């Protein structure tokens, strides 16, 4: 398997690390509401394509708080791997969960970039996994902390991606009608200007009925 091979729903797994309130409080590299939007969009993208998704949290009740409910709601049956270690790759339960997917391409987003993303990314690559770091669904305590950590991971072999890139890499061909409508719904909800453009095209070009919410 090569990093030049595109991500697809059968070769990748998603790991979401420490998207918890206390961790988000410290994020300064990205607007927090944008961060939540992107992380939830990423989780929904994986669900549309049945990509295995692993949640993990650190010191939930003693420090960090519960994983954002909007994120857990995407996979309500999921049981997050609870840890004490800052480095999730040092937790055997997490590593076992990853290996049980049988996937070698790991898509990872985490708080914070400089710790909870960098540490497992480096360790996973050392064990032969290919790591794709979702830069806009992760956040650091400063912009410099985020940027330098991303550079460090890239230098070690990680591939930087964004959440919407992952979504569209999974879809790839609009002829794939079994996922088309779900992808368009996700874009309209989470993709900002792109989603607004889709709404415009549906209603003004294709004459679809006005969409209502609620």
Q: Which residues are catalytic?
A: 116
Sign of CA dihedral 114, 117, 118, 119: positive
Burial 189-213 (b: 16+ CB within 10 A, else e): ebbeeebeebbeebeeeeeeeeeee
- The answer to whether 163 and 137 have CB atoms below 8 angstroms apart is yes
User: What is the C-alpha separation between 46 and 75, in angstroms, rounded?
Assistant: 10
User: What is the C-alpha separation between 38 and 207, in angstroms, rounded?
Assistant: 29
């Amino acid at each position: 398997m090569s990093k030049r091979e595109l991500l697809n729903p059968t070769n990748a797994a998603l790991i979401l690390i420490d998207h918890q309130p206390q961790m988000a409080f410290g994020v300064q590299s990205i607007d927090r509401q944008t961060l939540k939007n992107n992380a939830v969009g990423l989780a929904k993208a994986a669900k549309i394509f049945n990509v295995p998704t692993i949640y993990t949290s650190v010191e939930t009740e003693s420090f960090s708080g519960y994983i954002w409910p909007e994120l857990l709601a995407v996979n309500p049956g999921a049981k997050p791997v609870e840890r004490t270690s800052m480095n999730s790759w040092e937790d055997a339960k997490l590593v076992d969960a990853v290996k049980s997917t049988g996937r070698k391409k790991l898509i990872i987003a985490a708080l914070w970039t400089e710790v909870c993303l960098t540490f497992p990314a480096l360790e996973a690559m050392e064990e032969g996994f290919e790591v794709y770091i979702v830069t806009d669904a992760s956040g650091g305590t400063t912009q410099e902390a985020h940027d330098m950590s991303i550079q460090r991971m890239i230098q070690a072999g990680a591939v930087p991606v964004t959440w919407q890139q992952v979504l569209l890499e999974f879809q790839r061909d609009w002829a794939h009608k079994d996922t088309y409508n779900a992808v368009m719904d996700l874009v309209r909800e989470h993709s900002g200007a792109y989603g607004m453009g889709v709404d415009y095209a549906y209603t003004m070009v294709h004459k679809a009925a006005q969409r209502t919410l609620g």
